[in-house]
A = this chain, B = another copy of it.
């Protein structure tokens, strides 16, 4: 079997991070890199990634140039949204190349737009390729991992899970979209005008779980509240005084017959330790048996997303054509050997 040929579309922190991990994987060959910024075009990917060697791959702004028919997988990291992804995915699919995207809404796109999802699905089938959205969340902690744990349950009554993380390492964009450093008034205004968004992906996670477990939910509800700080908190990018907003507490509910069958919480803030909050991923299943899981600290978002996406390469190469989700495929695993052997071993 030949090396698996991968193109990176999007060379921001996520795309570059995935590329850095992939250059060390046996059986994988990066054959193209598509950057948004013009200043990156023409550079060797190795120097763009600050590796100690050139990779012989010239970064381009032109997807048509990078994605040729013998590419096996495009790793897509340009946006969070289905609508913005669509024309890019269409281009990839029509070149008859598989896609793994970290766009949050692609983790379970039918939760966002059934019609566009079916279009993608048909397009993928017509062209004989597979499309998958994944990442740490949605895609792993608050959906695939819960589904997996429920596999040891004969019955499930309720699911409550939370992902408590620390936004301190992130830059100004994340501070703005999570409302860090605002007043409560500014926060509420930001929610209304859409500049403060909280987490993207709850609808996807809840719909994926509900479909897999056969829970027939009536609706999905979401609430977003300011996390008002009692203490002084500070990062290189933002200062939060007591009474100001340290982050966004975003909660989503999957409701059936008026009851919250699924509750997912994702409070995102800077310096949660300042008020005694331990970060972690927590999953509690009420059922037979009950399961109470904790991962402390939480699986880090950035690396976790890069890892989950690259680790699905063997599965997507082997998968049946169509628009797929994490619940449909064998689970990812760290790729420590020859990735071609992993592909061959998948049934």
Interface of A with B (CB < 8 Å)? 21, 24, 136, 140-141, 144-145, 147-156, 211-216, 287-289, 291-297, 299-300, 303-304, 306-308, 310-312, 319-320, 322, 324, 327-339, 341-342, 345-347
Contact = CB atoms under 8 A, between A and B. Distances in A.
B307 A328 contact: no
B292 A295 contact: yes
Contacts of A144: 148, 331
Contacts of A338: 214
A148 B148 contact: yes
A338 B216 CA distance: 10
Given A153-B307, A212-B342, A214-B338, 13 more contacts: A145-B149, A148-B148, A151-B311, A151-B312, A153-B334, A154-B303, A154-B310, A212-B333, A214-B341, A288-B303, A292-B296, A327-B330, A329-B330
Nearest to A145: B148
Given A145-B148, A213-B336, A304-B152, A347 B331 contact: no
Q: How many copies does the complex hold?
A: 2
A295 B296 contact: no
30 contacts: A136-B152, A140-B151, A144-B148, A144-B331, A148-B331, A150-B334, A151-B307, A151-B332, A151-B333, A152-B307, A152-B311, A153-B334, A154-B306, A154-B307, A155-B336, A211-B345, A213-B336, A214-B336, A214-B337, A214-B339, A214-B342, A287-B334, A288-B303, A289-B307, A294-B295, A320-B347, A324-B347, A327-B330, A329-B347, A330-B331
Contacts of A212: 333, 342, 345
A338 to B, nearest CB: 6
Contact of A328 (B145, B151, B327, B346): B346
Nearest to A304: B152
Contact of A334 (B155, B303, B345, B346): B155
Nearest to A212: B333
Contacts of A328: 330, 346-347
A-B pairs with lowest CB-CB distance, top 8:
A214-B337, A151-B332, A150-B334, A156-B334, A154-B307, A21-B154, A148-B331, A153-B334
A331 B331 contact: yes
Q: Looking at A214, A320, A338, which has the most chain B CB atoms within 10 Å of its CB?
A: A214
Contacts of A341: 214
A345 B327 CA distance: 10
A332 to B, nearest CB: 3
Nearest to A337: B214
A151 B334 contact: yes
A334 B157 CA distance: 10
Contact of A319 (B216, B342, B347): B347
Q: Looking at A147, A295, A336, which has the most chain B CB atoms within 10 Å of its CB?
A: A336
A164 to B, nearest CB: 15
Contacts of A291: 295, 299
Contacts of A346: 328
